[in-house]
Each structure stands twice: as C-alpha cells, then as structure tokens.
Amino acid sequence: MSLLTKATTTIGCTLMALPLLAVFLVAALLNSFIPGSGGSTTAPGKNALTDIPPAMLTLYRQATPQCPGLSWTILAAIGKAETDHGRHPTMTSPAGAVGPMQFLPSTFKLYAYPVPAGGKRPPTPWDPIDAVFAAARLLCAHGARGGKNLQRAIYAYNPSHAYVTGVLRIARRYATAAPATSPGSPADSTHASAVVIFARRQIGTPYVWGGDGPAEGGFDCSGLTKAAYAHTGITIPRVAQAQYNAGPRLPAGTPLLPGDLLFFGTSPHAITHVGIYTGSHRMIDAPHPGAVVRENTVRLTGTTYQGATRPSLRGAP
C-alpha cells in the first residue's frame, strides 16, 4: 500500500529501491503492455483460474466498474502480492495494515463508501467485498481511471518500483485469455461461489413476501435467489415458477453443485418455493412468513422436490 495506506513493511512484498535502469525497465514494460485498460471484459487465463479462489476472482471482476478502464487483472495482481488472495494466515502487517487487500483502517475509510452489495455494514477492511471495492476506488483516485496513469496508481498503493513491476507482471500472467466455456464448466464456479457467499450474508434477514432485499425489510424465496444471482451479473426472472421455467434445468441424477437452484412444489407447473444449494445436502432459503433467511439440511426426496437449475451467463435470459 501507499504512504496513505501503510508503512513500507508489507505482507506479500518486500520494498526496495531500484537503480535508475530498473525504473526505465518499468517504463518500457508499461509501454509494451498495459493490462489496466481492458476493463472487466478480459477473460481469465489458465493461470488466473488455477491460482485465484473463485470467490475472489468474481470480486475482482465485479469491482472494476468502480474505475472505468481499470482491468480486474490489476486488482487480482495486487491481491496476489498483498496476501495471496486472502490466503495469508494473519493478514496483518507490522505497520497495522489488515485484511486481504492490506489497508490501514484510517485509509480504508476514505474509499469504503458506498458500501457494495453484499458488503458489511459498517464496512471493514477485513471483508473481502469491502476491501476489493475500496482498492479499486483508491487506484482510480490515483490515476487508474481509463488507464491514464496506471503506474502512478499502483505506486500509490505501495510506493515501490519493484512493487509496480511485480504487479504488472502478475497482471500480464492473469490476462492471457482462456478458451470459452459452456454452462456448468469450471469457470462457471466463479459465479456460483459468489452466489453462495451473497446468500450466506443474508442469513438472519427476515422473510418478507415480495421482498427483494433489506431496503424492503427482507426477502421472499425467489427475491433472495434473484438478488444472489444479480450480485454476480446474471439476471434471472423474479418469481419461482419463472425461474424454474428459465432453466437451464439439470437432468435427473446430475450431481448438484453449490449455487444450483432447487425447486419445490406440487408439480413442475406449480412451483411454490426455491432455494440455493450450498453443498453437502444443505440449502439457503427464505422459507415462509415469520421466519428468517436460513441455511439448513435439505431432503431432495419425496413428491415436492421438482428439480434443479444451473443459471449461467450463457443460460440466463
């Protein structure tokens, strides 16, 4: 991080002064490849898909609209340099920087608002959603908008030419496009993980018939599933029957994956309830009036279970 965010000791990088020749090499690297101008559209390459946890990859890609022209690869490269995408065991630096993106709490407050969907209230640098969105705003404030001065923005995050070089190198590695995937492929797990993370953050929210979120006091079952998928950029219909009809439906016997939607009713034409599968025979749902969003064991036997769907970017209406 910068002098704004932390002192020179960091988790994930060692600060050092570079000779003048190295500074010129940084400039040459920027001239030959600037990965910060591709926005959120650059497809993750094999290195990104294998190295970045799916939920974090989703966050990096979702946060880039905070700074038009900033590539998710830059955010991901900073997350890698700072805490290996949140894998560092403590995520606390000797200088007091904390969380997956290594913010001093005082600096985090400058970039924490507005609170992103699914973020903590009040926001905290320990929360991955809050931290990644704040990092995008910090970079934007220091030159990343439109890729105009990406070097300066990264240097503001951590005032080290070695850091700038390292972040750009990681971003270039992450930016190599991967082959297109089809619904249900491993790349779709990025969105599925974010669906489950969002839904878990709503546990304890009251059931409200017709509710689409906390602004309306709570969720009903299909309001929760629609909001969870909207959080990942996937649009599904509003009511449970329409969500079931939209599919794509999974053939009977298909192993369920986290993020799949589970449907219940008296028949495929009378769907009355929907929930989000989270793995290990468990589901998050908004069950009925008087209850709250919960995560419980689910039984997929009997006459009421009507099947599952796996919405995706390609399968969404």
Domain ranges within the chain, ordered by starting residue: 20-175, 187-309
What the block records as the tokens of 5 is 């965010």
Residues found in the chain: 317
- What pLDDT score was predicted for residue 28? 37
Identical fold for domains 20-175 and 187-309, yes or no, is no
Phi, psi of 113 (to 5 degrees): -120, 150
CATH of domain 187-309: 3.90.1720.10
Q: Where are the alpha helices (DSSP H) in the chain?
A: 20-32, 46-51, 54-63, 72-83, 105-111, 128-139, 150-157, 161-175, 189-201, 221-230, 240-246
Tell me if the pTM is above 0.75.
Answer: no
> What would the pLDDT profile of 185-208 be if each residue is shown by its tens digit?
433 455 667 888 889 989 999 999
Q: Give the residues across from 276 on adjacent strands.
A: 261, 284
Residues contacting 55, CB < 8 A, separation 6+: 128, 190, 193, 194, 197
3-state secondary structure 166-234: HHHHHHHHHHCCCCCCCCCCHHHHHHHHHHHHHHHHCCCCEECCCCEEHHHCEECHHHHHHHHHHCCCC
Residue pointed to by tokens 């009997």: 302
> What would the pLDDT profile of 209-231 be if each residue is shown by its tens digit?
999 998 889 999 999 999 999 98
Rg (CA), the chain: 21
> What would the pLDDT profile of 228-264 be if each residue is shown by its tens digit?
999 888 899 999 999 999 999 999 888 888 899 999 9
20-175 topology per CATH = Lysozyme (1.10.530)
Rounded Cα gap, residues 97 and 107, in angstroms: 10
